[in-house]
Amino acid sequence: MIKKDLFGDHNIVFVNYFIEKRDRNQLGEHRLRGSRTLKVIDTKRGARDYSKEIAGWLRDEISNSRTVLVPFPSTNKFKAKSKQLPFILVKHLCRMNAKWVNGSGCLGRRYSLAKNTRNATLQFRSLRCNNPDLIRGQDVTLIDDVVTTGSSMRAGLKALSLYSPSAVRGLAIAKKVRAQEIPLTGIY
């Protein structure tokens, strides 16, 4: 399992690499069959076969103490939570450990954003904490699926930090990369 700090920020960790689409096309799907990248893609498209397995990838990165797990909301404010991978993962994770609290709905959107908005300020302004009492004085882990620049994750951490959690960190399934950025020992 890959465990990296994202962009030197020790509060954000990802556990896998996620190969960008143009590189997946060049590598060929046959080389990626069964890979974690394809499992994440299939799950994001609605397949439920791998969601428990993916939650297992994250399990060891979360402390075995009372922690509020907050799923990062889609940029589409109206997308059903049951169709968003972070919400599905938080549900599975909370079943794996009774000390983990489901923070679904704690972080929401004031309004929708364009799908690949990289501007951290726009991301931050669109977010709101719907249940600040749930996170006040608690350890909080923000769960996201795939991060590219980390701007949305940082905006989410900042939004949650306003409500005085004892600690807040981000955890993503994967970081999107070009294939040549992956070390030879990398799992994709």
pLDDT in tens, 121-156: 999 999 999 999 999 999 999 999 888 888 889 999
Domain of residue 92, CATH code? 3.40.50
Q: In this predicted model, what pLDDT tens digit does every residue of 14-68 receive, in sequence order?
A: 777 666 666 666 665 555 656 777 778 777 777 777 888 889 888 988 989 999 9
Band (pLDDT 50/70/90 cuts) for residue 98 is very high
Q: Are 129 and 101 in contact (CB under 8 A)?
A: no
Number of domains within the chain:
1
Nearest to 176 by CA among 17, 8, 32: 17
Provide the 8-state DSSP code for 179. Answer: G
DSSP structure class, residue 37: H
**Which range marks the domain in which residue 132 is found?**
4-181
d(Cα 71, Cα 91) in Å, to the nearest integer?
9
At 3 the three-state DSSP class reads coil
Whole-model pTM: value is 0.83
Is 136 among the domain residues?
yes
Q: Is residue 8 part of a domain?
A: yes
List all residues 6 or more positions away from 20 whose beta carbon is below 8 Å from its beta carbon. Answer: 176, 177, 178, 179
Q: Is residue 57 part of a domain?
A: yes
| pLDDT tens figures, 60-91 | 889 899 999 999 998 888 888 888 899 999 99
Q: Is residue 129 part of a domain?
A: yes
Is there a domain that residue 125 lies in?
Answer: yes
Those residues whose C-beta lies under 8 Å from the C-beta of residue 183, and which sit 6 or more positions away, are: none
| Residue 188 falls inside a structural domain | no
pLDDT-derived band at 103 (thresholds 50, 70, 90) equals very high
* 187 within a domain of the structure (yes/no): no
Question: What is the per-residue DSSP string for 15-52?
Answer: -SEEE-HHHHHHH-HHHHTT-HHHHHHHHHTT--TTHH
